[in-house]
Amino acid sequence: MPQLIRKGVRIDDSFAEAFPMSGTGVVITAPTRKWALQAAHTMTGFATSVIGCGCEAGVDLELSARETPDGRPGVRVLLFAMSQKDAEKQLVNRLGQCVLTCPGTAVFSALAGEQQIKVGDAVRQFGDRWQISKRLNGRRYWRIPVMDGEFLCEGTVGLTTKSVGGGNLLVMGEDWTSTMRATEAAVAAMADVADAIAPFPGGVVRSGSKVGSKYKGMGASTNDAYCPTLYGITTSALDPDIGCVLEIVIDGLTEQAVADAMRAGLKAIVALGPKHGAKRVGAGNYGGKLGPFHYHLKDLLP
Amino acid sequence: MKPLVLTLRHEPQQRLDLSPLVPDRLIRRTAKEIEALDIGTTRIALKVGDMFKVRLGDANSIRFEGGSERFDQVGAKMLAGGAIHVEGDVGAQAGRAMAGGKLTIAGNAGPFAASALAGGEVEIGGDVGDFLGGPLAGEIPGMAGGRVIVRGNAGARAGDRLRRGVIIIEGDAGEDVGSRLIAGTMIVLGAIEGRPGYLMKRGTIALAQTPELGPTFVDCGAFHFGFARVYARSLAAESRGAARLLGQKLRRYAGDTAVYGKGEILTPA
């Protein structure tokens, strides 16, 4: 693979291949930052990949009390799915089970979006006719009586079908510790990019997959070309000095947000250098025929 | 661009129907056409030109220099995007059934101000008469949207049959504020008289001064309400007093249980 070198880090002349998704999001507030984060983490817990979780979700940004509609600490959560219907179903289920139940929380729409999906307008029935509608500045809020007071939930939240899922970076290093150091630095840098999330645990995935399998009926299986323990025995994409590969997958509300997150991640990895961090960075794609969005690493370099 | 200015020549001798003088009906009209509009309400014909000196300008913004207790229906049925300012008093039904835009009155307004308002904003610097936002005789719902702010006092039965929208009275309210409320939000910062929320079905009345409530309102305890915080933030620019009231812990009295009983009166805890 042809490569560029930045501060000693080898950058593959490759691209990440991404797909259109439906993206939506909510701002969750609570009396304390702790409980806002608790609701956000519970709601986005089992949401790493659309394949098994129905959606991909994560914390976009933490908001200070000054930035939220009700003046309490908040968290902006984004959720992505393959269709508008899936996004709506996942969001309503997760809000109903994870946020309605979480003490002190309130929910607001996180984006305008070209579509509106019903959230409070669905959850309201939990109020058993004790729920109260309040309209302010063209937005409807539902007040649902619960055991710690009231759950306040906006009637609808915005959804955009112009979201992008599947932006990624493959971080390759000598061992687990140094590779993880570079990966964590990249994830931390991406956390500051608005409108983008890394849905996997801590933003990182170690089980990258390829299309197809030797077993019948399995659509995807381990990406042996990037498994360091198979370096000698399979057609490997790795080099002799690579002992660990970690991937960061990025979903964003816009094509730009994904590019910005990848750029921020690359910058952090390069800044760390090959001695303590990653020796090489690549990107995953399927040959460019499946996804309409191509993020070439060479365009995103610092 | 400068607003279209209508300067009052002298105190009118009869009540005036000023409903034709709204931005959407004056746009692209010449001064002569405007002066020929009929605004009289008696047998004696009266044209705009008889009462006002017209200075053309951007008709999206109309300014009345001078007002009168006989100015009726100022800004009635105004559409979104328009603005009317009255430097003086107005009579009955100011901002009646407005759909949008902004009406500001520096002086006092008569009865039925903002009657059946559907959208937009009405701000009254002075006092208002009875039935602020209420329906006229024979109409069922009252105000159905928009925002009303009264800096002074309001007469009896302010917010009668309010259905949607926000009414803020910074001064005192007369008897039976929020009577027959259907839904929506009322905020009163001054003193109140009579039976607040009399026969209210749903909706919220926030009162800065705790009144004597009848037995059909039941105490439901004191809380920090999330929705009240959202309202406080949204209203802070227009009424700091209202924002202060809603930002605090509030005692909730549910009622009026003589009727549907899904409404509430909130007072500082």
H or E stretch covering B144: strand B144-150
Cβ contacts of residue B250 below 8 Å, gap of 6+?
Answer: B206, B222, B223, B224, B225, B228, B266, B267, B268, B269
Could you state, in order of their start, the residue ranges of all structural domains in chain B?
A: 1-83, 108-269
Q: In whole angstroms, how far apart are CA B112 and each of A170, A239, B130, B158?
A: 69, 82, 6, 9
Per CB-CB distance under 8 Å, the chain B contacts of A136 are 166, 230-231, 234
CB A160 within 8 A of CB A22: yes
Residue A219: predicted pLDDT: 84
Alpha carbons B156 and B153: distance in angstroms, whole number: 10
Per CB-CB distance under 8 Å, the chain A contacts of B249 are none
Residue A217: predicted pLDDT: 87
Residue A51: predicted pLDDT: 87
With CB atoms and an 8 Å threshold, state whether A70 touches B229.
Answer: yes
CB pairs below 8 Å between A and B: how many? 46
Instruction: Give the Cβ contact number of residue A70 at 10 Å.
Output: 23
The one-character DSSP state at B78 is P
Cis peptide before B256 (omega within 30 of 0): yes
Alpha carbons A164 and A232: distance in angstroms, whole number: 36
Alpha carbons A90 and A83: distance in angstroms, whole number: 11
Domains of chain A (ranges; CATH) run 3-18+162-300 (3.30.70.520), 21-160 (3.30.70.520)
Smallest Cα distance from B260 to chain A, Å: 12
Alpha carbons A62 and B74: distance in angstroms, whole number: 47
With CB atoms and an 8 Å threshold, state whether B230 touches A136.
Answer: yes
Residues of B contacting chain A (CB within 8 angstroms): 145, 164-166, 183, 185, 202, 204, 223-227, 229-234, 247, 262
The ipTM assigned to this model is 0.92
- Residue of A124, A132, A154 to mutate when probing chain B, most B C-beta within 10 A: A132
CB A161 within 8 A of CB A115: yes
With CB atoms and an 8 Å threshold, state whether A136 touches B225.
Answer: no
Per CB-CB distance under 8 Å, the chain B contacts of A132 are 202, 227, 262
Q: Which residue of B has its CA nearest to A149?
A: B223
Contact status of A103 with chain B (Cβ, < 8 Å): no
H or E stretch covering A265: helix A255-276
- Residue of A27, A64, A70, A108 to mutate when probing chain B, most B C-beta within 10 A: A70
Residue B45: predicted pLDDT: 94
Q: Give every residue of chain A whose pLDDT is below 70, as ranges.
A: none
Residue A122: predicted pLDDT: 87
CB B116 within 8 A of CB B94: no
Q: Give every residue of chain B whose pLDDT is below 70, as ranges.
A: none
Structure token pair of residue B198: 């009399």
Per CB-CB distance under 8 Å, the chain B contacts of A69 are 230, 233
CB A90 within 8 A of CB A54: yes
pLDDT, tens only, A160-201: 999 999 999 999 999 999 999 999 999 999 999 999 999 999
Alpha carbons B33 and B143: distance in angstroms, whole number: 33
H or E stretch covering A29: strand A15-29
